Amino acid sequence: MTNQFIGERVRRNEDPRLLTGQALFVDDVEIPDMLHAAFMRSDYAHARILSIDVSAARERPGVVAVFTAEDMGDDWEPGPPLVSPPPTVKDVTFYSRRQAPLVKDTVHHAGETIAVVIAESRYIAEDAVEDIIVEYDPLPVIADLEKALAPDSPLVHDDLDSNLAAHLYQQKGNYEAAKAQADVVIKRRFYLDRGAAVAMENRGIVAHWDEKAKHLTMWDTTQAPIPIRNGIAARLGLSENQVRVIAPFIGGAFGPKMMMFYPEEMLIPWASKKLCRPIKWIEDRRENFYATTSEREQLHDVEMAFTKEGRILGFKDDFLHDTGAYDPYGLTIPLNTQCHLMGSYVIENFSSNCTAVFTNKPIVTPVRGAGRQQGIYIVERMLDVASKELDIDPLEIRKKNFIPPDAFPYNNGIIDQAFSTLIFDSGNYIAAYEKVAEMIGYKQFVKEEQPRLRAEGKHVGIAIIPFIETTGVGPYEGARVQIETSGKVNVNTGYGTQGQGHFTTFAQIVSEQLGVAVNDVRIITGDTAEFHWGTGTFASRGIVVAGNAIHAASSAVRQKVLKLASKVLATPEDELELEDGTVRIADIPQTSISLGELAALANPLRGAVEPGTEPGLEATDYFGPQTGATASGCHAMIIEVDPETLMVNIKRYVVVEDCGRVINPLIVEGQIHGGVSMGIGNAYYEKLHFDENGQILNASLADYLIVTSYEMPPRIETGHLETLSPLNKLGSKGVGEAGAIPVPALFAQALENALQDYNLEILETPLSPNRLFELLHESRMAKK
């Protein structure tokens, strides 16, 4: 059978709707009699609420209701824990605190919801929010990660003894013994700070409780409609099939649109049920900075033990992790960080103690990379420091330590975010590294071009950073594939999409099995009424987990097609082929039957059916990997820095990506470009600035700097490497987050390289021209 689907640059099925403004996003939903919500949010990061006076708001014309926590009565309860701490790690402490729909007594971060106004229009609702008078008793704010653990620190949660949210200790081998044998031990402290996801579409919810049908429909900008449905049903005392959650087209998600049970997600459906009216709430951009989760603040104290030849003997990293005011998402991010601290390298002795800390800041949950960025940043920076101290070429020191291509599957001996052992399934790190070095012309640049540019007064640096990325984790996903009598194929899956091209890539997987044109395969997702088993879109697992479930279900349908066609065409199955929407005899292609006709035959309106047959040409299947698939890659960059203004200009950018079998290279490139743009943002432009009162100083797109067309390199050049994953039939690995992961480490190496005369050592991210100016100044002072 000819396969023209997998690995092809198929153009996307979903594009015509999106291009013509015909795609439904949550804010496009209009229901007769719909009301609009606006929230009153706390200005203070930490305060007791003494009183809330909503009387004036209630009287404003056009206002239908105003609710506070008190009005919710017994229906008020905090959200559910979303991810439990890992049961398989021995040394875990975890104090669970979760956000509530509306604050009852104490505000724990700025922007928390205190009251909600439901009105005829969002305009009136916002007017009414200003009518609400809240009496606060401001409490001392703790916004500093390190200070939060000091004995005299204000407590974020006063029912706990400290701001300790969790301890997570993982180790393998014996670091102390390794350290004792080392020729050199290098110690450094690193600080990484927060960034936000900033999807172009803010969050939004439309909840419609139909009192007559006793049914709730909810449109939600969520990456996980199924858990949301289950949780909301439970909270409202409904059965699961009384609730339908629809995630229509979503304008980018990147992590924070996961099943957070955000306050608004818990409140709006409750309010709709209370008022028996449809209610819409759309987050605005200012709210988004406070009310949608963000990520990345950590403080690492790292030690690495080396032989004088540059072999890594051991690695120790104790770090603090800011979880914000609540920790609904368990230890996913710190686990990811720990799993990436060893990078692509053989490190036999490892010790890492993570302390998660509460602060009076908005909640921390995964943002593209989800803790992996931090791990890669640390290990790659340490190797750069070591290469200088040991006087070993930065490429050589890495080559000495890479996990070799014959060492797979490679057991890293610690636990990952999916609570299973961190095992790298396949990879060839040295090949990717060397390929990138060749693509960017590393040797020639360092030897000839760089000195020539330096002589012209230009400061141009080069960097190469390899990385691994854990992807494709469980628990599972599922799909139902059905051939209709029209000959078109329907695929229902619980795995949602927010721009990753699943309507096309999933279809390609089906097309490969059934020989149907890609645009004759209709993927239906993001609707719990269509498919209600699965978790959600996260951790770069779409192709691996949902894709393989779809592959399995399509294969099962293929078997049914062959079985039935064999009877109808009176030919053995192995002489049949599926192509162009038909089944035909391989040597006599004129003898064929269309899939649509077969589907009709498989669902007769009269007659008896054979016992044991299922109607139609349909199959449902699931896929649940035991361990995740490990993608890898390498980025390289040439960047020019103006040493006076500290402005940067990326001259070249090269990526080699290994995500196993590539379903659609065009879409993979798109994912890489987007990831790189976020990585560049995280490296040099984006930072969520908090003051000591827990206020965000740049809560607008004018001041939170996401990159535009100008800040990108002229071209991202991509090369592929494919080491198939043995863990799934497609041989695929995930790629959604890859582009963002190595970039901060890349910038650090490149800037140090460009500014070699200044002997800079970069131990933090994000950077900015101002920060670089300060570091240069500090290093100049240190030299004196």
Smallest separation (angstroms) from another protein to the CB of 212: 26
Of 65, 595, 631, 667, which lies in the binding site for another protein, with binding defined by CB under 8 A?
667
- The minimum distance between CB 289 and another protein, in angstroms, equals 11
Among 189, 689, 726, 756, which residue sits at the site for another protein (rule: CB under 8 A)?
Answer: 689
- Helix-helix angle 225-235:263-275, to 10 degrees: 50
Q: Which is nearer to another protein, 22 or 93 (CB)?
A: 22
Per rule CB under 8 A, is residue 256 in the interface with another protein?
A: no
Torsion of CA 460, 466, 470, 471, to 10 degrees: 70
Smallest gap, in angstroms, from Cβ of residue 499 to another protein? 3
Question: Which residue, 179 or 687, has its beta carbon nearer to another protein?
Answer: 687
- Residue 51's CB is within 10 A of a number of other CB atoms, namely 8
Is residue 379 within 8 Å of residue 342, measured between CB atoms? yes
Report, in Å, the least distance between residue 754 CB and another protein.
17
Assess 720 for contact with another protein (CB under 8 A).
Answer: no
Stretch 500-529 residues interacting with another protein (CB under 8 A): 500-501
| Minimum distance from residue 217 beta carbon to another protein (Å) | 18
By the rule CB under 8 A, 73 interacts with another protein: no
Identify which of residues 22 and 411 has a Cβ nearer to another protein in the complex. 22
Which residues have a Cβ under 8 Å from the Cβ of 210 and sit 6 or more positions away?
Answer: 216, 217
Interacting residue with another protein among 198, 364, 418, 564 (CB under 8 A): 198
* 567 near another protein (CB under 8 A): no
Nearer to another protein, 590 or 770 (CB): 770
Are residues 385 and 595 in contact, defined by beta-carbon separation less than 8 angstroms?
A: no
Half-sphere exposure of 702 (CA within 13 A, CB side): 2
Both tokens of 224, joined, read 């996980």
Q: Which two structure tokens, joined as six digits, stand for 13? A: 């099925």
Contacts of another protein in 435-494 (CB under 8 A)? none
Of 40 and 250, which CB lies nearer to another protein in the complex structure? 250
Would you tell me how many other CB atoms lie within 10 Å of the CB of residue 519? 16
Work out which of 4, 7, 8, 27 binds another protein, going by CB under 8 A: 27
Q: Which of 2, 33, 51, 61 binds another protein (CB under 8 A)?
A: 61
Per CB under 8 A, does 764 bind another protein? no
Cα 88 to the center of its chain, rounded Å:
23
The whole-angstrom separation of Cα 550 and Cα 622 is 8
Candidates 265, 303, 669, 737; binder of another protein (CB under 8 A) is 669
DSSP 3-state percent helix, strand, coil across the chain (nearest 5): 30, 25, 40
| Closer CB to another protein, 67 or 254, in the complex | 254
CB of 470 to another protein, least distance (A): 22
Examine residue 264 and tell whether it contacts another protein (CB under 8 A).
no
Q: Which is nearer to another protein, 53 or 711 (CB)?
A: 711
- Minimum distance, C-beta of residue 160 to another protein, in the bound complex (Å): 32
In whole angstroms, how close is the CB of 254 to another protein at the nearest point?
7
How far apart (Å, rounded) are the C-alpha atoms in residues 322 and 594? 58
Q: Is 557 in the site for another protein (CB under 8 A)?
A: no
- Spatial strand order in the sheet of 350-358: 91-94, 164-172, 350-358, 312-324, 298-306, 184-192, 764-765
CA 568 to chain CA centroid, Å, is 48
The pattern of x and - marking residues 105 through 144 that bind another protein according to CB under 8 A reads: -----------------xx--xx--x--------------
Candidates 93-101, 181-189, 245-253, 421-429: pick the segment binding another protein (CB under 8 A): 245-253
The site that binds another protein (CB under 8 A) totals a number of residues, namely 79
Q: Which residue, chain included where needed, has tokens 């600035």?
A: 689
- Residues 6+ away with beta carbon under 8 Å from 120: 35, 36, 62, 63, 64
Complex with another protein: residue 154 or 252, whichever CB lies closer: 252
**Strand order, beta sheet including 215-220:** 63-68, 113-119, 35-41, 279-282, 204-210, 215-220, 243-246
Residues paired with residue 660 on neighbouring β-strands, in sequence order: 732
**Rule CB under 8 A: which of 359-418 touch another protein?**
none
Please choose, out of 142-150, 182-190, 312-320, 674-682, the segment that lies near another protein by the rule CB under 8 A. Answer: 674-682
Residue with tokens 């998402």: 329
Tokens coding 221: 């900008």
Quick one: 410 or 684, whose CB is closer to another protein?
Answer: 684
Q: Does 677 bind another protein (CB under 8 A)?
A: yes
In the set 430, 593, 666, 724, which binds another protein (CB under 8 A)? 666
Site for another protein in 723-742 (CB under 8 A): 739
- Cβ neighbourhood burial of 75 (10 Å; 0-12, 13-18, 19+): middle
Kindly write out the interface string for residues 642-661 of this chain, putting x where it contacts another protein by CB under 8 A and - elsewhere: --xx-x--------------
CB of 504 to another protein, least distance (A): 10
Q: Which is nearer to another protein, 343 or 744 (CB)?
A: 744
Is residue 744 at the binding interface for another protein, with CB under 8 A as the rule? no
The token pair at 2 is: 């000819």
Q: Smallest gap, in angstroms, from Cβ of residue 21 to another protein?
A: 2
Least distance (Å) between residue 130 CB and another protein: 8
CA 623 – CA 147 distance, rounded (Å)? 45
Residues 6 or more apart in contact with residue 193 via CB below 8 angstroms: 296, 297, 687, 688, 764, 765, 766
If we measure between CA atoms, which residue out of 136, 142, 167 comes closest to residue 157? 142
